[in-house]
Amino acid sequence: MDLSLSEEQQLLKQGVEDFVAREAPLEAVIELTDSELGYSPEHYARVAELGWLGAAIPEQYGGAGLGLTDAAVLFEAFGYAALPGPFISSGVVSALIVEEAGSEEQRAELLPRIASGQAIAVLALTERGYGWGPEGVHMRAASSNGDYVLDGDKLFVHDAIGATHFITAVRTGDDGALTLLVVDASAPGVSVRRLQGFTGSECVVRFEGVRVPASAALGDGGAVEHPLDRALTKAAPVLSAYQVGGGQAAFELAVDYSRERRQFGQPIGRFQHVQNHIIQLVNHVDASRWTTYEALWRHDSGKPGIEVASHLAKAVTSEGFVHAVNYSHEVHAGVGVMHEYGLTLYTTLSRSLYHQLGSPRYHRRRLADLLVDYDLGPDPLD
C-alpha cells in the first residue's frame, strides 16, 4: 500500500502547478471567461507542446502513454487553476473513445492529431430529451449513397466552441444501432452556439443536412455501446480529478480568507460557525480526492470493481464540488460573489461539471444497479 504520488508524478504536479501559476493566474482566467472562445488557444498549444495534452494517449499514437492517474495529477492542477479549455474533452474523453471504439486506422489518424492539438474533438452525445447517457440518443443519421446525413441538435455539448471535430452519437440502420460519427466541425450544415445561463462551456451543436462518409463511423462495424461505456468509465475519474482541484482551491481560498478577514474584533476563522463551513468543505474535498484516486488506481492496475469505483467517484465528486464551493461562499459572504475575486469561477464550474459525463444521480443509479450483486472481491487478506 502506498497512497503517495510517485516521484515522476510529484515532478509532473510541480511542473503543471508552476505552469498554471505563471501562465494562468486567477485574474487571467477571469478575463478568459468573458472572451468569445472562452479559453486561450495559446494555453492549448503550449499544453500540447509540453506533451501534456496526450498524457493519456498511448505513445504509439503520439501521446505520452502515461496512466490515468498521471493524467489526473495533471488535470487536478488545471482544476485548481480553473483553467478553461477542451483539455479533458478532447485529450481524455474523445481520445479514449477513439482508442476504445475506433479502428486501428482511425486511432492512427486521429489520436496523434488530438495529442498535438491540431484536432480538437469533443463528444456530442446528449439531446433535448431528458436523460444524459447513451440511452438518451435518438438522433438518426440517414443513409444516402453510402454517406450518412445528419439532422438535429446536440445539447449541452461541452467545449464545442473552437472544436474541429464532433464525435457525434447517432442512430443508424433499421435497428437504430448506436453509431459514433466523427464529424468535421467545418462541414456544411454544422453550426455551434454557446448556451446562455449559469453554464460553463456548454453549447448546442446543430446539424442541418450534414453529409459525412460512411468511413466517419468509429470502429470496424461492431457495436459501440460497450467501447463508449468503457471510455466514459475511464474518463469520469479524470474529470473528477479536475473537480478535486477546483474543490481544493475553494478550500484554500476559504482558509486564507478566514485568517485575514476580521469581524467583531477577530479573524472570522475564530468563529466555530466559520470553522464548521471549512471542515465540511475539506471533508467533501477529501472524500472526492480519495474516491477519485482509488478509481484511477483500479483502472491503472486492472483491479476489479472499476465501474463501481468510477461511478462512486463521479457521484461523490460532482456533489462534493458543489457543496465545497457553497461552503466557501458561506465563509466569504459578499466578497465571494464578486466576479473579480475569483471564487465564482469555481462556482460556475461546479454547476457546469455537475452534469458533464453524467450527473450524480445518473452515476448513483448505475452504482446502485451494480451494487445489488456486487462482490467486494475476495478478502484482501486471503
Partner 1 sequence: MDFEPAYTPEQRAFRAEVRAWLDDHVPHVEGDQDSDENYAKYRQLGRDLGERGWLRPTAPVEYGGGGLSVDHAIVLAEEMDRHDLTSPPYYDSGGSLGGASILVWGSEEQKRRLLPPIFRGETVTWQLLTGPEAGSDLASTETDAMRDGDEYVINGTKVFIGGSHGADSFWTICRTDREGARHQNVSWFMIPSDLPGITVERMYLLSDGREGIGRGYKNTIYFDNARVPAENLVGGENNGWKVASTHLELEHGSGGRIARNVWFERTRDRLRSLPANGAHPLEDAETRGLLADLFMETEVQRLFELRNFWMNRTHQDMSYEGPQASYYRKMSGLRASQIMLELLGPYAQLNDAEFDPTGGRFDSYLRNAIVSLHPGGTADIQKVIMARRIGIGRGERERAGRTVE
**Residue 371 touches which of partner 1, its own copies, none (CB < 5 to 8 A by kind)?**
partner 1
d(CA 341, CA 222): 51
CB of 272 to its own copies, least distance (A): 4
Which residues are 139's β-sheet partners?
none
Q: How many residues bind its own copies (CB under 8 A)?
A: 4
CB of 105 to partner 1, least distance (A): 33
Assigned C-alpha cell, 240: 473528477
Per-residue binding string, its own copies, 249-288, x by CB under 8 A, is ----------------------xxx--x------------
Taking the least distance from each CB to partner 1, the nearer of 145 and 272 is 272
Neighbours of 112 (CB within 10 A): 17
Taking the least distance from each CB to its own copies, the nearer of 11 and 279 is 279
- CB burial of 138-149 (b: ≥16 within 10 Å; e: otherwise) equals ebbbeeeeebbb
Strand duo 121-124 + 165-172: pairing: parallel
Taking the least distance from each CB to its own copies, the nearer of 6 and 263 is 263
CB of 1 to partner 1, least distance (A): 5
- CB burial of 35-51 (b: ≥16 within 10 Å; e: otherwise) equals eeebbbeebbebbbeee
Question: Applying CB under 8 A, does 301 fall inside the site for its own copies?
Answer: no
Neighbours of 105 (CB within 10 A): 10
User: Which burial class, exposed, middle or buried, applies to 130 when counting CB atoms under 10 A from its CB (0-12, 13-18, 19+)?
Assistant: exposed
Do 89 and 78 form a contact (C-beta atoms < 8 A)? no
d(CA 291, CA 282): 14
CB of 374 to partner 1, least distance (A): 8
Taking the least distance from each CB to its own copies, the nearer of 186 and 272 is 272
**Residue 305 touches which of its own copies, partner 1, none (CB < 5 to 8 A by kind)?**
none
CB of 259 to its own copies, least distance (A): 18
Per-residue binding string, its own copies, 90-129, x by CB under 8 A, is ----------------------------------------
Residues contributing to the site for its own copies (CB under 8 A): 271-273, 276
